Chains A and B, each alone.
Chain A
Amino acid sequence: MIYLDHASATPVSKKVLERMLPYFSEKFFNPSAPYLSAKRVREDYESAKQTIANLVGAKGNDLVITSGATEANALAFTAVAPDNLETEQNLKNTLKSPKVLVLETEHASVLENAKKYAWDTIKVTKTGLIDLFDLKKKLSPEVELVSVSLANNELGTIQPLSEIAQILKEERLSRLKSGNPHQLLLHSDASQGLALLDINVSRLGVDLLTLNSAKISGPKGVGALYVGHGVRLNPLVLGGGQERNLRSGTENIPGVIGFAAACEQLKNPASLAKKYKKLSDILKSELENSKIPPFFLGDKKSKLSNFLPLCFPGLDAERIIYKLEEREIYLSTGAACAASKGKPSHVLRAIGLSPEEIAGSLRISLGVLNTEENVREAGKALVEVVNHECERISRS
């Protein structure tokens, strides 16, 4: 098997799994139970949370553990009062209902939550970068939340979060002067950038940050939301009051232990980037042999080094995937969840690709399972399949 879809899922490493296993069996205790053995589990859990928080330069307590990035994104949006919440206070101040702004290329888990509020999208450039002018233009006085992912999940385009944060900071200042009582928060889904980017919350300037274990060789079904000081959320899951009352339910101990172990295993981002750059170059040079030259999507300067989104215009990417699947080579079109719905990618549409180009687009995402050899082999296979498809089309 040659796996080229690390943006969809990553294998849990042996070491991570070994760290998790005891918490399924001998250390199975409910961390809220009163005896010492349970208390030890609580300590391990809190310590694991701190390990995860270290990654973003925060305290363990600043994190709310969730069932994954989707839930973390949903929880982030609860920072905005629902638009139908016409409190007396709001009416007295003739406060307009709050609005949210999201990048048009956001993941469905952000877009669908935005739709619960008055909302608008911020445009992207042809490389998928945020159009900062559009952000400024749309940053009206009632906007309370701006959500921009750290790196896009289909293109790997990295957004200039600190610049965005600066714009928001200026807006906050002007609101303070004008007496506009609306809060203004910056949320970012950092699911895709964890291993390769600086995700220090202070440097990024975010108030809310979504983290995902599944993309860094941690277990699936675990995520976290960093919640900045002073941000008030409304819990989605009510009950026993775990996670500072923001996410009830007995803690997912093995999951969080695994997430922390995966964080500890992260390599130096610079050397990782170097590795992926080399692998990408090998792939690209192999692809020069294909009858239809691909063009590469995303932003050349501001892109995750493990992403290689590309398009073979005129070809059907799904057929390429099925052909490669026969050789146990796995890659995908766009986001796995969007593709399974049979809808063309809204991300690729947003960067201006034609329907035909969208149909010919593939996402290669490198990761822990890739070597120079297997990437070269995959490149050769991809060329064979592309050339084969070209022949089939010319026959019919």
Chain B
Amino acid sequence: MMKNCAKTATQESSAQKTLVRENSGASKAQKTVFLGMSGGVDSSVSAILLKNAGYKVVGCYMKNWSKDLPGMKCPWAEDLADAKRVATKLDLDFLIFDFEKAYKEKVVDYMIAEFKSGRTPNPDIMCNEEIKFKLFFEEALARGADFIATGHYAKSENGLLKLAKDENKDQTYFLYRISKEALKKTIFPLSDMKKPEVKAFAKENGLSNAYKKESMGVCFVGDVGMKDFLREYIDIKPGEIREIETEKVLGTHDGTVFYTLGQRHGLYVGGGLPYYVVKKDLEKNIVYVSNNLNEKNLWSKEIELENIFLRDAIEKTEQQGNNKKLDNNQESKSTEQASSPIKIRIRHRAPLIPAIFIPSESRVILQEEIKVPASGQSIVFYSGDVCLGGGIVK
């Protein structure tokens, strides 16, 4: 008991290790973990792992959205039932957190505003930052949690956000903006498991029929869903799709907000070489396309960012990486460093590519040209297996 009380913040920060440590079943007071559950295989397996490690696990369902859209149904009630079913089978207490209002304000409104201004936002990143690792985290602690946990593929180690063992499933791209405080008290039970192992584990533990298919994060995200959703909120006018080189009209679009720079599918301009969206003129309501893969709008070596979020990890890793260069007194200024060689990821599951980050210019510079990510999307920074933060494409 005394040991526990004396535990320092840094010790607790290695929540990941705790998962293993408490496995010994020592007679310490049982720690409580509030686990976000979706009814999917990942959070379900996380529950078993935490339970086996000796935690008191409380299954939590976050109700973020319950609006039914015309012609489609957000299956939140079924999701809730699925999560509760698994929690019940594992004998966990189960709580529902109603974040609908906050989700609307923090995630949905942001998303709509971004789309309205012609950008392509990532609501999942916003949801993690504002809801799961902020509101849920705060409320869980207030209700007696020592830690929170989610079924994300990511690693929390010594206050650092790191890549999951399963690099193919790694979800740090969606987590780069979560608060440092929350991360310190977050357990990602799947950090060292590969998806096939998770599936096999679920089967071994009799959960093969309990969980539903892969959960999608935001229920209405998905091509068809997003269109219907935006129509409810944004005045959308159909317009022309033109070839940028010739101004020739190739087809019609449903509304510029539906199109993203670099997009190739769903243009219906027919036949021949594939066309790419290379520009959107919001005022004239025109989507410009090109079938020239070398079109200048498609490629760049530089990406300008805004709303940059740097984890304190950037200091630590730079210290590790550039020990010789760093003066001891300079620690706090490290983010002001002229430039940092890092690796970046421009979308979930995209390969890590080398880049230089210039903080003073909010810019990353790449070694080679890449297809430009759409504005509103996130660029996430890494050094080795550590996620350093990232920013949003201007």
Contacts and interface: CB of A to CB of B under 8 A. Distances in A.
Q: Do A and B bind each other?
A: yes
Interface of A: 318-319, 322-323, 325-326, 340-342, 392, 396
A396 B66 CA distance: 29
A222 B81 CA distance: 29
Among B88, B91, B93, residue most surrounded by chain A Cβ atoms (within 10 Å): B88
Contact of A323 (B56, B88, B93): B88
A341 B75 CA distance: 9
Contacts of B78: 340
Interface in B29-82: 56, 66, 76-78, 80-81
Given A319-B84, A319-B94, A342-B77, 4 more contacts: A322-B85, A326-B89, A340-B77, A396-B93
A333 to B, nearest CB: 11
Contacts of B85: 322, 325
A322 B77 contact: no
Given A319-B88, A322-B88, A323-B88, A342 B80 contact: yes
A322 B80 contact: no
A326 B85 CA distance: 10
Contact of B93 (A318, A342, A392): A392
B93 A322 contact: no
Contact of A322 (B56, B66, B76, B84): B84
Chain A contact surface mostly: helix
Contacts of A396: 56, 93
Contact of B84 (A318, A326, A341, A392): A318
A396 B78 CA distance: 26
Contacts of A319: 84, 88, 94
A375 to B, nearest CB: 23
A110 B96 CA distance: 31
Interface residue range, chain B: 10 to 19
Contacts of A322: 84-85, 88-89
6 contacts: A319-B88, A322-B84, A322-B89, A323-B89, A340-B77, A392-B91
Interface of B: 56, 66, 76-78, 80-81, 84-85, 88-89, 91, 93-94
A322 B78 CA distance: 13
A353 B337 CA distance: 65
Closest 10 CB pairs of A and B: A342-B77, A322-B88, A319-B88, A322-B85, A396-B93, A341-B77, A318-B84, A323-B88, A392-B91, A342-B80
B94 to A, nearest CB: 8
A341 B76 CA distance: 9
Contact of A318 (B56, B66, B81): B81
A318 B89 CA distance: 11
Contacts of B81: 318, 340, 342
A317 to B, nearest CB: 11
A345 to B, nearest CB: 14
A367 B242 CA distance: 66
A326 B86 CA distance: 11
A340 B77 CA distance: 7
A51 B66 CA distance: 45
Contacts of B77: 340-342
Contacts of B91: 392
A63 B122 CA distance: 56
A322 B88 CA distance: 7
A157 B57 CA distance: 41
Nearest to A341: B77
B75 to A, nearest CB: 10
A342 B76 contact: yes
Contacts of B94: 319
B203 to A, nearest CB: 16
Contacts of A340: 77-78, 81
Among A326, A341, A342, residue most surrounded by chain B Cβ atoms (within 10 Å): A342
A325 B78 CA distance: 16
Contacts of A392: 91, 93
Among A322, A325, A341, A392, residue most surrounded by chain B Cβ atoms (within 10 Å): A322
Nearest to A340: B77
Contacts of B93: 392, 396
A341 B73 CA distance: 11
Contacts of A325: 85
Contacts of B84: 318-319, 322
A392 B91 CA distance: 8
Nearest to B96: A342
B140 to A, nearest CB: 15
Contacts of A323: 88-89
A340 B82 CA distance: 11
Contacts of B76: 342
Nearest to A326: B89
B88 to A, nearest CB: 4
A203 to B, nearest CB: 41
A325 B89 CA distance: 10
A332 to B, nearest CB: 12
A392 B77 CA distance: 25
Contacts of B66: 342
Contacts of A341: 77
A396 B85 CA distance: 19
Nearest to A322: B88
Contacts of B56: 396
B314 to A, nearest CB: 41
B320 to A, nearest CB: 43
A1 to B, nearest CB: 15
Contacts of A326: 89
A23 to B, nearest CB: 34
A392 B59 CA distance: 14
A341 B56 CA distance: 30
A322 B81 CA distance: 9
A392 B85 CA distance: 16
B32 to A, nearest CB: 10
Nearest to B73: A341
A342 B82 CA distance: 12
A340 B81 CA distance: 8
A287 to B, nearest CB: 20
A392 B80 CA distance: 21
A9 to B, nearest CB: 18
A391 B93 CA distance: 12
Nearest to B80: A342
Nearest to B32: A396
A151 B76 CA distance: 31
A341 B74 CA distance: 11
A331 to B, nearest CB: 15
A323 B78 CA distance: 17
A164 to B, nearest CB: 35
A112 to B, nearest CB: 14
A294 B56 CA distance: 29
A226 to B, nearest CB: 33
A260 B270 CA distance: 55
A341 B79 CA distance: 11
A318 B83 CA distance: 12
B212 to A, nearest CB: 14
